[in-house]
Structure formats: C-alpha cells, structure tokens
Chains A and B, each alone.
Chain A
C-alpha cells in the first residue's frame, strides 16, 4: 500500500471574475523511502498540491474534488483540529527560503522543543535531549552551543538543516520539500539534497520534492511528475522521464536546461503552449549608434581593486574592524565580449559589479574605462557621462522596478536624467524600446505588478537600453526566473551583445548558464579572483582545486534527453 495517495485532486481558487483551477484532476502516489519529484514552471500548481496535502491552502482556495489518503486513511476534508494534529506529526514541510522560515526572535532550541512538546508532550529534559539528537543528526557541528543560538547566527545551508531538523521533530511519514535548495549555493545544495536522500532512506520517509530545477530532479528523485498549467503531463521513474520524455512539454522543458557539457549558439526555448515573445533585435540595431569595437584594447582595465566594509564600529580608528569583500582584484574586459564572474554567495562578485557601476566607492585600486580612470571621478558631469555608458540589470525583477511608477516613466527615467532628448522624442523612444523588447508600447501605461517575472526583466532591459549604453552589467539576471523564461532573457542578452556590439559583465552562480553565455570567466572566492580562463578551457580543464570542486558539484545532466539539441560547430 502506498504511503500517500492523491486521487483526482482538483483545487480551485474562486475569484471575482472567474474560477481559477490551480490543480486539475491530479493523481500522485508516494512510497515509503521514495523521493517523488514534482516539477514544472511557476504557476503550474506544484506548490498548491503541497499546500492541499498540508491543509494549508490560502483562502479562498478549496479542494473541489478528489481524495488524499495517508497510509490508507483519508485526510482531505478533515476538520482544522484533526488536521493540526497531523501537521508536523505525520506530514512535515520544508520551505524554500531558510532565511525567512525560522522565527528570528527565538533560539533554535526554543523552536525545536516547542514543536516536540506540541506533538509528543513529555518533559523538558526529554524534549531537549531529542532536540540535541536531531541537530546532531542533520549534521550541525557542536550541537550543544548551536542549539542556544539564534537563526541569524547560522549560514543559509545550516539554517536549512535546522528547518529539516524541525520537520523531522516527530518522525513524520511524509515530508513535503517545497524548493528546499533554490536559495542555496551549489555546494550547499548538494549537501542538503544528500541529507534529504539519506534521511528518506534511513527513516523510510516519503518525500515530495517540489522544484523547478531539472538538475535537482535528475540527481535526487526516484520518480517524477511533470506538471503544466495545473495538469500532470507525464509521470514515471525519473530515469525514464528524463531520458525518454514522451510528452512534448517535458521534451522542451528538458531541452531548455542549460547544459554544462554542450555549448550551443542559442538557448533552446520552450515552444510548448506557443508563448514565445518576439524580440526585435534587427529593429533595434538599425537605430543603434555604430559602435567601433576595437578588440585589441580592453574596455575595462581593473587593477588591484579592493573594497572593505566596516564590520565593527568604533569611535577610534584602531577600534574598527573591516571585512574585506573584494581583495586585490585585477582583470580586463575586452570590447564586445561577455565576461563572466562566478562564485558562491559572499565571494564578492556583486561588490565588484557595484564598484564598476560606481555604486560603491573604491577603497583601493583603479578602474579604467576606455583609457580614462573612472574610479576616482568626483566631477558630476564626467561621472554622468560615464554612467550613461554603463547600465545595470538586477537580479530581482520584483524589487528593482518602482511599484508606484508607470512602466513608460520607468523606461524614460534614464533618458530624462541624462537629458538626452525631450518631450515627444522621449515618448517615441520609450514606445520603440517597449515594442522591441516584445512587450508592445501599450505596456507603458501599466504598472510593474501587472507583469510576470520574465516580462519585468524585459522592462529592466528596456530601461537599461534607454541611454544606448556600451556596457551592461547583469547581476544574476535570471536566477529568479523559470527555465523557459531564463532562456528568453539570456537569448535577448546574447542578441544585444552580437547585434549591438555591447560588452557584458555577467555575474552568476549557475555554471551551466555561464558556460553558454560567456567568452571568458573569472572564478571568485572570498574576495579574490582564483582563476581566469576562456570559458571552454575552464570547463574542460580547470586549473585550481576550487574551480574543479565547483564543476564537480554542478548537477550532472548526463541522463537527460538531448533531443532537438545541436551542438555548436
């Protein structure tokens, strides 16, 4: 008998205008000790299934039909009190972001003991002992000290271990892990997935792993269910679904995953559902000022760049301590290339980008743009002229657009700031830009919240292109996006580089994406550049231990079907 079975589940969200069906007649079953992957793009309904099992559907969502059974007993339709008894006790959940899923004001011990006692009762001493064992089991070193610390004293990976310990508190039968590693670095992701796998085996727990990352699915799961628009399109053993996908959507989803082993000219886009949005690069190129990319000379020469952040304040200079975020970094960026910077979080890659953009003052070293030293510019006119040529695209398309401004004002802002044109001309340029990035000029009258993540990133691109810059800084431009949207955005960036002669600084922690995008890559670790190579050489033949370790931790996608992919000659 299966541990958890879902039969014909339909979840509806009635809204004022219509009934939105988030989950549409879904069947699913999980065996003890099995990890069942649930994959799909955002909005496919995978998290809704998790919430429905937990009885935690957000209002006004409701289970319209279907039966959820746990060890043969029906749990859908139980009243709130009975459901609370099951939550945490029989079914646990692990959330995506370990930074926000722990209460910041309570120690780890308080949160564990509280949960243990809520379900098992028992004395303080027993609960404390159990808490310590759990913390030890999930691989947190020095459990006695760590138990009395607060969540903010743990790193992201360690916090996710605490979250797992909390989910395991009362020996649940089923754990629902909703994107448990999306917010983590590759190396930490591998550890956490390893731990989940181990625990599932050891305790014979059934795990539903919800993710949009095909790499995670391929590496971790035993079975996989692929969802599209609330429906299951394909389900089966992972190796079979990944290796010989039957459904068109699964095929294109797998094809869209950037491969570390294969360099393609363009990112394959998901064609299923016919949602491709045109990006009018030829149109744009016609109006773009001719750039004379002299490839013999670098655009940027960065020498001995250093940035320190004040870590400890003090009245007296010798009382202060600093954290060196960027430590003696030097590299050149050639005209017209895509220069990649990779590294784990905290390695200083974003700090470098911000210093180049002039957002952080430089503490040491120089930045030279086009033969002119720009790192010590104080003259506002000169600084403005420099900044006009440098534009930035940020990671989070949700927070990088002002929600109170209309889209046309957002795109027009850089033009107005630099006084490049006025009145009617601004309007014409903005309309053109919005048409060219595929949103259509009528998008200008809307506000950012009316757009999806990928569309917002297009607005960011239109804004960045408004001043006709020569250099774009892309700081993790796609890490908040789905695979299919990621492919669209990355293709746009590639077009910009190829057709408009733009030079790109591309920051990412996603090695397969870097492999596809970049001509040369710098690997950063703890503020230093440890390796700088041509992309192909780096992937084929890393020179440092750190780089080879990063490459080793990359999800292996060897089993994935390569239908429809043609390697670049």
Chain B
C-alpha cells in the first residue's frame, strides 16, 4: 500500500513537471507583458531594463527552471499587474473558489446519486421519466447560459437572490468564508447550481445506468430469493456496487468543477481564482497564470489519488491483492 502511494506520488511529480513545461512554452504566444506594464512614453532602454529585471530575456528553459526553483520553495514570483506576491493573491482568492466548488460538488453528488437511484428503481414511473427528460437540459445547455437564465429569473424578475459577488464574508484565520452570513449563503445558491448542474445530471445518469446493470446481477436476485427487503437490496447491496465506477467519473468531474469555475465566476463576478486567471490572461500576467495552472493540476492529481484510494476502501478484491503485494 505504502509503496503504491509512493509510486503514485512519483508519477504525480512527473505530471506536474509536464504541465508546467507545456504552460511555459505557451506563455510565449499569449503576448508581451512589457506592452501592458509600461505606458505610452516608454523608451527602448526602459523596455530592455524591465525585460532583464523580469528575466524575460533569458531562454525559456532557463525561465522554466527558475520558476521551478521558486515554486518548490513556495515562491511563485510577483504579479506583473498587482505588484504583490502571487502566493498571497491566490491565498486571498482561493477560499471563494473552494467554497463554491465544495457546495456545488456536494449538491451534484448528493442530488445526483439520490435521483439516479430513484430513476433506476422507478424505471417505469412517470416522475422518473420526467426527471430523465429534464436532465437532458442539464447535459445539453452550456454553463454560461444556465447562469444567465438563473440570474434573469431569480435576480431580475423575482429579485430573490443576488446576481453577483459573494455577499458579506467573515475572516477566520486568513480564510474568508461566506458560510456564516445570510447574504453570503444567499449569494452562493445561484453560482453553485450553475456550476454543479452539469455534473449533477451526469452523475445521475451514470448512477442510473450502473444501478440498472447491478439490479440484474445474480447476487441481487439471490438477495431477493433470501427474502431481504427492497430497502436493504437497493441501498445496501446494489448501491455499494454501483459506486465503484461512479467514483471514477465523479472524481474527474470534481476536478473539472474547480477548473471550470472560471466560466461561472465570470458570469457571477465571483471573486475567486478563476476570475483572477481570466484577468491575468488579459494582462499577460505570467506568474499568476503559471501558479494557477500548477494549482489546478495539483488538485487534479490529488483528487485522482484520493479516488484510487477510495477504490481500496470500497472494493475488498483490490484490498486483498494490495495486501499481498
């Protein structure tokens, strides 16, 4: 088991190095940050001086190496636009994104699994068919459109919920949370639904089809033949077996909830890292972009590791094999 985790860590480091390399090689094409940083009255001397100062005159392998050197020490450089250390900026913005991702991920998983089980058990029912049809909307409408629709209905027409921002936040030890104020919670609702809707419908459809598959299995028939109640069969025997493949997809989807928060954050002007990234692209703020991309890939890699470890927790067949190794 331990050897397995070490091996996975080693693979993760390689993934991160490759992501960094690809990111860096692309930054050369997004534009020249110097253009934005110096005003109209710059001279060639100013440009050259700033370029040397930022290390942009050096070849890109050297830049990449320097970035890595700093990154392993937790130093991601200084933002070109704001002139503050990138790590501080991200630390300020991350709680907003993480809270949003957490709430929408939680919504997607709980509602998705519940609806999936429901539609699988009541396969012929009217309600199940309506849910399945409506879920197509969640799969096929793009995120930004859903966001705008929700804003139109709930903010503009009904005036129930705020259309942008996080509302009031409370600082707890450097973490700004919106969970503790009424306006913070209200502000979370629309963006969380927007962000989680696609994942929710996906998880629901996945759980449903896996569940239908499992319900046909011999051990479910045998459980019925032993006279176990429907509740025990559906929620104990069938659901647990459904979870193994569902976890794979769900894990990957949680990663993309964080990564795709960019669009939702833009629509709702949510002050998270996604919005920060969009602004950084417009300004060619290379240190912020690099740090953001590394952050996202660290998250993906970590979530995948957790998913793989969850397999072991759920499926005893893997656990015993692992003990033998």
* CB contact between A169 and one of B7, B218, B226, B237 (< 8 Å): that residue: B226
Question: 1/0 per position for A314-335, CB-CB distance to B under 8 A?
Answer: 1100000000000000000000
Interface pair B222/A95, CB less than 8 Å apart? yes
Please tell me which stretch of B73-81, B139-147, B227-235 contacts chain A, meaning at least 4 of its Cβ atoms lie within 8 angstroms of it: B227-235
Question: 1/0 per position for A257-286, CB-CB distance to B under 8 A?
Answer: 000000000000000000000000000000
Interface size class of A (residues with CB under 8 A): 35 or more
Closest Cβ–Cβ distance, residue A55 to chain B (whole Å): 9
* CB contact between A56 and one of B221, B228, B240 (< 8 Å): that residue: B221
Take A95-B222, A104-B241, A312-B325 as given contacts and tell me if A118 and B227 are in contact as well, using a CB distance cutoff of 8 Å: yes
| B221 proximity list for chain A (CB < 8 A) | 56, 95, 101
Closest Cβ–Cβ distance, residue A14 to chain B (whole Å): 16
| B7 proximity list for chain A (CB < 8 A) | 315
Interface pair B229/A100, CB less than 8 Å apart? no
Question: 1/0 per position for B275-300, CB-CB distance to A under 8 A?
Answer: 00000000000000000000000000
* CB contact between B320 and one of A100, A103, A153, A313 (< 8 Å): that residue: A153
Take A114-B232, A118-B232, A150-B316 as given contacts and tell me if A103 and B237 are in contact as well, using a CB distance cutoff of 8 Å: yes
* CB contact between B228 and one of A95, A102, A118 (< 8 Å): that residue: A118
| A312 proximity list for chain B (CB < 8 A) | 324-325
Interface pair A56/B227, CB less than 8 Å apart? no
- Whether B57 is near chain A, meaning CB under 8 Å from some CB there, is no
Q: Of residues 99 to 120 in A, which have CB atoms within 8 Å of B's CB atoms?
A: 100-107, 114-115, 118-119
* CB contact between A100 and one of B3, B219, B240, B325 (< 8 Å): that residue: B219
Give the docked Cα–Cα distance between A259 and B325 (Å): 47
Of the candidates B219, B227, B229, B240, the one having the most CB atoms from chain A within 10 angstroms of its own CB is B227
- Whether A93 is near chain B, meaning CB under 8 Å from some CB there, is yes
Take A95-B218, A100-B218, A152-B317 as given contacts and tell me if A87 and B226 are in contact as well, using a CB distance cutoff of 8 Å: yes
In the complex, what residue of chain A is closest to B228 when comparing beta carbons? Answer: A118
Interface size class of B (residues with CB under 8 A): 20 to 34
| B325 proximity list for chain A (CB < 8 A) | 312-314
In the complex, what residue of chain B is closest to A311 when comparing beta carbons? Answer: B324
| B3 proximity list for chain A (CB < 8 A) | 315
- Whether A166 is near chain B, meaning CB under 8 Å from some CB there, is yes
* CB contact between A166 and one of B226, B240, B314, B315 (< 8 Å): that residue: B226
| A167 proximity list for chain B (CB < 8 A) | 226
Interface pair B218/A114, CB less than 8 Å apart? no
| A107 proximity list for chain B (CB < 8 A) | 316
Interface pair A89/B227, CB less than 8 Å apart? yes
Question: 1/0 per position for B305-325, CB-CB distance to A under 8 A?
Answer: 000000000111100100011
- Whether A346 is near chain B, meaning CB under 8 Å from some CB there, is no
Give the docked Cα–Cα distance between A97 and B218 (Å): 8
Interface pair A105/B314, CB less than 8 Å apart? yes
Give the docked Cα–Cα distance between A117 and B225 (Å): 15
Question: 1/0 per position for A137-159, CB-CB distance to B under 8 A?
Answer: 00000000000001011000000
Interface pair B223/A103, CB less than 8 Å apart? yes
Q: Of residues 62 to 94 in A, which have CB atoms within 8 Å of B's CB atoms?
A: 84-89, 92-93
Interface pair B226/A103, CB less than 8 Å apart? no
Of the candidates A93, A105, A163, A313, the one having the most CB atoms from chain B within 10 angstroms of its own CB is A105
- Whether A547 is near chain B, meaning CB under 8 Å from some CB there, is no
Give the docked Cα–Cα distance between A101 and B226 (Å): 11
Give the docked Cα–Cα distance between A442 and B317 (Å): 46
Interface pair A103/B225, CB less than 8 Å apart? no
Give the docked Cα–Cα distance between A300 and B68 (Å): 61
Take A102-B222, A114-B232 as given contacts and tell me if A119 and B317 are in contact as well, using a CB distance cutoff of 8 Å: no
Closest Cβ–Cβ distance, residue B7 to chain A (whole Å): 8
Closest Cβ–Cβ distance, residue A100 to chain B (whole Å): 4
Interface pair A103/B219, CB less than 8 Å apart? yes
Interface pair A101/B218, CB less than 8 Å apart? yes
Interface pair A114/B228, CB less than 8 Å apart? yes
| A101 proximity list for chain B (CB < 8 A) | 218-219, 221-222
- Whether B224 is near chain A, meaning CB under 8 Å from some CB there, is yes
CB-CB nearest 10 A-B residue pairs:
A88-B227, A87-B227, A93-B225, A88-B226, A100-B218, A150-B316, A101-B222, A103-B219, A101-B218, A115-B226
Extra 7 A-B pairs, beta carbons < 8 Å, given A92-B225, A106-B240: A95-B225, A101-B218, A105-B241, A115-B226, A115-B228, A118-B229, A313-B325
26 of the cross-chain contacts (CB-CB < 8 Å) are: A56-B221, A87-B224, A87-B226, A88-B225, A88-B226, A92-B225, A92-B226, A93-B222, A93-B225, A93-B226, A101-B219, A101-B221, A101-B222, A103-B219, A103-B237, A104-B316, A105-B315, A105-B316, A114-B228, A115-B227, A118-B227, A118-B232, A150-B317, A153-B320, A166-B226, A311-B324
